[in-house]
Structure 1
Amino acid sequence: MREKVCLITGATSGIGLESARGLAGQGATVVLAGRDPGRGEAALAEIRRTVPDAKLDLMLADLTSLASVRKLAEDFQRKYSRLDVLLNNAGLIIDRRKVTPDGFEATFATNHLAHFLLTHQLLELLKASGASRVVNVSSEAHRMGSLGFLDDPQAERGGYSGMRVYGNSKLANILFTRGLKRRLEGTKVTTNSLHPGVVRTGFGLNSEGILKYLVKLSSPFMLTVEGGARTSVYLASSPEVEGVSGRYFIKSKVARESRAAQDDAATEKLWQKSAELTGVGS
């Protein structure tokens, strides 16, 4: 990965931090995107503790704000002339409905819309960088999702369920990957999605209800963050997946998505709706 540049969202903790460490250890220049400067600097120091010669950078962005996502893309392109790996890693799960400054349901906005917009804003740079890769962190929780969310992406009807909305957002990650793969045909850019495993991080502990306690109870049976980052690093760097695109991976192996995640009409419907909500071309 020497001479290659990687951008990772949600990189200041959890599997994002471990993915950054893994890619830095292979010689890549790794740009960590996070919203808290203190946690960001701590993440840089933590990686340098184990990878002393790591080439790292920190860029601040709040993925609940589309304006902040656009600024991240602008800041990155102002500083870097290439992008070899975009790892859309950041994720959110909450148990009470919250709305972003743009008026979107927070889980859908953070887990899908922010990454849709960021990828769109950086797509020309990815194409210009040759055999670059877009890696989207999804989850087996996508199997809890339903294509009905396409008619209610803001989760305004039928009562709010944090797990259901999270599952819908992870389903969106895979549909987005499929839609992006089609639009990348004829280029050297590939895109794949993955399930990292059930990982022992701080994920879900910001919830206020039963979800927080379920996470704590199941923690002893979860993967380490190092194990959780393994498939992300594999898809970002391994020559074994060069040219592979539009697939879903578990434990660094191709896996079958849910039937809903293979729906072509839903893929296009989500793309058009996302383009409309983020104000980009279709």
Structure 2
Amino acid sequence: MPVSSFKRTILITGSTDGIGKQTATDLAAHPDNRVIIHGRSEEKCETTRDQIVKETGNPTNVDYIAADLSVMKEVAHFADKVKSRFPELNVLLCNAGVLNPRRAETVDGLEMTFQVNHLSHFVISRQLRPLLQQNSPSRIIFVSSICYDWYPLDFSDLQATNYGDAYLQYSRSKLMNHMTAFRLAREKSDGVTVNVLEPGVCETKLLKRGGYSGGPVKDGSVAPVHLVMSEEVKNITGGYFNNRGKRITSLSADSTDAKQQDRLWTMSEEICSKFGITF
């Protein structure tokens, strides 16, 4: 296991704005945390890093990695870049997400919300799990939403050709996050816990794109910070936590359905294989 002067090395996808950035800032305020921010461009990542360092006064514990999760070629190489640069990684916070008022496709021909919110994190969490296992005890945390149970999955239309309103596919992508997390948690015990949280309704750019308003972004980092740092949850896996970091015991039947989890898992692997991504 790599030797590190930090207690935690934490990668947060989608952390140049909104809840991800706030969470990165709050975690970087603790000098025993090494925080790796992620964004689509080097420039935005550098700017965010400088802002966080200025706010926390800790110049040595914030780094970054850039990758566009809407490009499968970049997703495919993301884990290798992380392994090379940050071999001490022991926390993965899957936070990046989009909410589009209208259907849009990526350069890969996949529906944008499906690819960024679900498929990219499916790949990243699968490919980084061996490293996390090596550095155990480790944690994988998915950021979901209170709307995750608004719509059931349509397995005949994961690409949302019938897009409907903006929240239909967004909600389904968050249900996919739940299913992926719980399916990962069903794997044999390997020193890696996998949990899901909902950060609350916060005034982010994403929320505004969906036509809603919410509370301060600062409130949205409470649950992520808790799930990353708290000793109370170190032995919990397959759990769902609310915006205050309290475990929710009432879960949607779809999210906990092992057959649906396995079906999504297999279909996601099949799509990944078309881009040369195997596990």
Same fold at TM > 0.5: yes
C-alpha displacement of 1:84: 0.9
Q: Which residue of 1 aligns with 2:267?
A: 273
Q: Which residue of 1 aligns with 2:159?
A: 154
What's the CA shift for 1:281?
A: 4.8
How many pairs are equivalent?
268
% identical aligned pairs? 33
* CA–CA distance in structure 2, aligned partners of residues 131 and 199 of structure 1: 31
Partner residue of 1:253? 246
Contact in 2 for aligned 1:94/1:204 (Cα 8 Å): no
**How many angstroms apart in 2 are the aligned matches of 1:204 and 1:72?**
27
> Hey, what's the Cα distance between the residues in 2 that align with 1:139 and 1:94?
15
Q: Give the aligned partner of residue 148 of structure 2.
A: 142
Q: CA deviation at 1:100?
A: 1.1
Question: Aligned partner of 2:184: which letter?
Answer: L
Q: Does the 8 A contact of 1:194 with 1:248 survive in 2? A: yes
**Hey, what does 1:81 align to over in structure 2?**
87
Alignment RMSD: 1.6
2:237 is the alignment partner of 1:237: no
Distance 1:43 1:223 in 2: 22
User: Counterpart in 2 of 1:199?
Assistant: 202
Following superposition, which runs of at least 4 residues in structure 1 exceed 2 angstroms of deviation?
A: 36-39, 158-161, 279-282
CA distance in 1, matches of 2:76, 2:12: 15
In structure 2, the partner of 1:166 is 170
CA contact (8 A) 1:138 1:173 kept: yes
Looking at structure 2, the residues matched to 165 and 142 of structure 1 have their Cα atoms a distance apart, in angstroms, of 10
1:35 to 2:40 alignment: yes
Q: Is the 8 A contact 1:197 1:228 kept in 2?
A: yes
Distance 2:189 2:220 in 1: 32
CA–CA distance in structure 2, aligned partners of residues 126 and 270 of structure 1: 23
Structure 2: gaps of 5 or more residues? none
Counterpart of 1:191 in structure 2: which amino acid? Answer: V
Matched, 1:182 2:195: no
The one-letter code matched in structure 2 to 1:177 is A
The structure that is helix-richer by fraction is 1
Amino acid across the alignment from 1:30: V
Structure 1 residue 49 displacement after superposition: 1.8
1:121 and 1:266 map into 2 onto residues whose CA distance is 22
Contact 2:103 2:163 in 1 (8 A): no
One-letter code aligned to 2:137: A
